[in-house]
């Protein structure tokens, strides 16, 4: 880590809400860098996988020749945070995925794509998130996934009640963190601050 006080955290910048994550990371005390090439990926201490369209991001990581380097760095222990589509990319298993859709993997979860419904079913709620102080987090769900199953090594940090069942929407496994929702759009940087703390802890 080049600067122990301000780690360099990349945001995968092939598709999705990249600018919002870059701003949130800067607000949370990190140096933020858009990552589109292998050499940029090699230069960061950690990475954010943004919200967007998971199948498109999957295809573009292969086109940009980033898929294998991403999987290697995750396997080597690089801290990664995924929001919405990023949660899908970090999941080991997907339900309702498109044909040939692949994930980067790393978190022992099964996710359901678009679990809350279509764009018109998007909604907001307040969530208590383990590890995030200062009261509930405003969670914005936009065509969001949820976790159907989580392995024994996965910490569930927050859940919601939906369709008569409880579903995890914030999970952590080791140095990997994922949320179903989009904290980058609210102006509240506490989830990103939690991730920055994780990056400091892994140094």
**Which residues does the annotation place in the binding site for L-glutamine?**
52-54, 113, 142-143
State how far Cα 17 lies from the chain centre: 12
- Residues that constitute the known binding site: 52-54, 113, 142-143
- For 113-150, the DSSP string reads TTTT-SGGG-EEEEE--TT--SSPEEEEESS--EEEEE
Give the residue among 145, 119, 126 at the shortest CA–CA distance from 188.
Answer: 126
Q: CA of 162: how far to CAs of 20, 23, 30, 145, in Å?
A: 27, 31, 34, 12
State how far Cα 186 lies from the chain centre: 16
Looking up tokens 């969530």 gives: 127
Residues designated catalytic: 84, 182, 184
């Amino acid at each position: 880590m080049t600067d122990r006080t301000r780690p360099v955290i990349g945001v995968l910048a092939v598709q999705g809400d990249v600018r919002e994550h870059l701003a949130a990371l800067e607000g949370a005390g990190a140096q933020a860098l858009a990552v589109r090439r292998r050499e940029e990926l090699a230069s960061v201490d950690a990475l954010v996988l943004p919200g967007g369209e998971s199948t498109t991001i999957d295809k573009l990581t292969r086109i940009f020749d980033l898929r294998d380097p991403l999987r290697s760095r995750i396997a080597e222990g690089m801290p990664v945070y995924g929001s919405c589509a990023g949660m899908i990319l970090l999941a080991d298993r997907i339900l309702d995925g498109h044909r040939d859709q692949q994930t980067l993997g790393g978190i022992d979860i099964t996710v359901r794509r678009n679990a809350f419904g279509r764009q018109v079913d998007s909604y907001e709620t307040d969530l208590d998130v383990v590890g995030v102080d200062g009261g509930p987090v405003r969670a914005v769900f936009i065509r969001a996934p949820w976790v159907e199953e989580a392995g024994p090594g996965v910490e569930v940090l927050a859940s919601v009640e939906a369709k008569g069942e409880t579903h995890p929407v914030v999970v952590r496994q080791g140095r990997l963190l994922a949320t179903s929702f989009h904290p980058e759009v609210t102006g509240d940087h506490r989830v990103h601050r939690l991730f920055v703390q994780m990056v400091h802890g892994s140094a």
